[in-house]
Amino acid sequence: MESYQFVFIAQLMNKVLGLMNIFSHFLQQKDQNIIEVVSLVKSTKAKFQDLRESGWNDLLEDVNSFCVKNKIDILNMKEMNHRSRRVRHPITNYHHFRVDIFCQVIDQISLEMENRFSESNTELLTCLACLDPRDKFSNFCETKLLNLVELYSCDFSFIDQMELKEQLQVWIYEMRTNELFSGVQTISEVCKKMVELKVHNSFHLVYRLIELALVLLVVTATIERVFSVMNIIKTDLHNKMRDDYLTDCLVCYIERDVFRSIDNEIIMQHFQNMKTRMLDLPQL
C-alpha cells in the first residue's frame, strides 16, 4: 500500500469515479429526462477525452504531492521501469504509468461507454424523447418522429407515414390544449389516458407509434441487463446448460426487485413441497 504504483492507481480511480459519479446517480433516478440523459452521456464522454489529453500533469502532481506528505518514494519517470528489465524491449516509468495504466484505463471506460451509448442508441433515445409529455411536450419534434417511423417500415407503410404526419399535427395540438392531459408525466400515462378517453381510435397511427416507443424503451433496457449478467451466469461450469435453465437463471438477475420482494422462507417451502425429501430444510 506504500508503493508509488498503488498511490498512482488510487488517485487515478478517484478521478475516474468522480467523473462517473454524477452520471451514475442521474441514471438511477426514476424521473429521468431522456434529453438530459443524452446530453450527460455526450458531456461525460467529452470529459474522459479531456482527461486523457490534458489530465496527465494534474494527476502526476496529485500523486507526487501525496507521496511527499506520506514519505513514499517518488519514481523518476525517465528511468527504466524495473518490471520491464526482463522484457526484450524495456520501457520507462513514463511509458508504464501513462500508456499502460493511465491511457489504457481511460480507453477501456470510453470504449465501454461507446458500446453502451453508441451514436445510434443516443439518436434513438432522442427520437423517443419527442413523445415526453412533460412541460406540454416541450421536446416534441415531428421530423424526428417521422424519421423514427421510417426505420420500422414493417409497422408503418408508406401510406401510413403520410397519414401519420397529419395525425401528429392534430394530436400534439390536442395534447397541449386538452386539460385532461395536463397531469400526465410519462409516455405510458399518455397511452393510458388516450385509451381512457377513447381517442386512441381517432389517432390510431400515433397510438401505434407510442406503443412502438414503449416497446423500444423496455427492450433496449432489457437487452442491456441481459448482456450485463451474462458474464455472471455464463461460466465454464454453465456452458452446457440447456436454454430453459439458462433463461431461469437470467431472470433471477434481471428481475432483481421482484425476487427481492419474495421472502426466503416462501422459496424454501416451495422447494420442500416439490417432492418428498429425506430431510426437512431448517427454518430461517
> Which grid coordinates are listed for 254?
434481471
Q: How far apart are CA 5 and CA 10, in angstroms?
A: 8
**Same domain, yes or no: 84 and 151:** no
Q: How far apart are CA 261 and CA 253, in angstroms?
A: 13
**Same domain, yes or no: 258 and 169:** no
Mean predicted confidence (pLDDT) in 235-240:
54
Instruction: Answer whether residue 149 shows pLDDT above 70.
Output: yes
Q: Structurally, how many domains does the chain consist of?
A: 3
* pLDDT single digits (tens) 180-230: 888 888 888 999 999 999 999 999 999 999 998 888 766 555 555 555 555
**Same domain, yes or no: 212 and 265:** no
Burial class (CB in 10 A: 0-12, 13-18, 19+), 4: middle
> Which grid coordinates are listed for 253?
438477475
Specify if 55 maps to a domain.
yes
How confident is the prediction for the chain on average, in pLDDT? 81
* pLDDT single digits (tens) 16-52: 998 888 877 776 665 566 667 777 888 888 999 999 9
**Same domain, yes or no: 254 and 174:** no
Asked if 219 contacts 212 with a C-beta cutoff of 8 angstroms, the reply is no
**Same domain, yes or no: 8 and 99:** yes
Instruction: Answer whether residue 231 shows pLDDT above 70.
Output: no
Asked if 103 contacts 51 with a C-beta cutoff of 8 angstroms, the reply is no
More confident call, 182 vs 275: 182
- Structural element, H or E, at residue 166: helix 158-177
Domain assignment of residue 173, given as a range? 135-221
More confident call, 79 vs 7: 7
Q: Which of 7, 16, 230, 226 is nearest to 109 (CA)?
A: 16
Mean predicted confidence (pLDDT) in 265-279:
76
**Same domain, yes or no: 101 and 10:** yes
* pLDDT single digits (tens) 47-66: 999 999 999 999 999 999 99
Predicted local distance difference test score (pLDDT) of residue 1: 43
**DSSP character string of 178-230:** -GGGTT--SHHHHHHHHHHTT-TTTTHHHHHHHHHHHHHHHHHHHHHHHHHHH
Asked if 151 contacts 162 with a C-beta cutoff of 8 angstroms, the reply is no
* pLDDT single digits (tens) 87-106: 566 788 898 899 999 999 99
Please, how many CA atoms are within 13 Å of residue 33, restricted to the half-sphere of its CB? Answer: 11
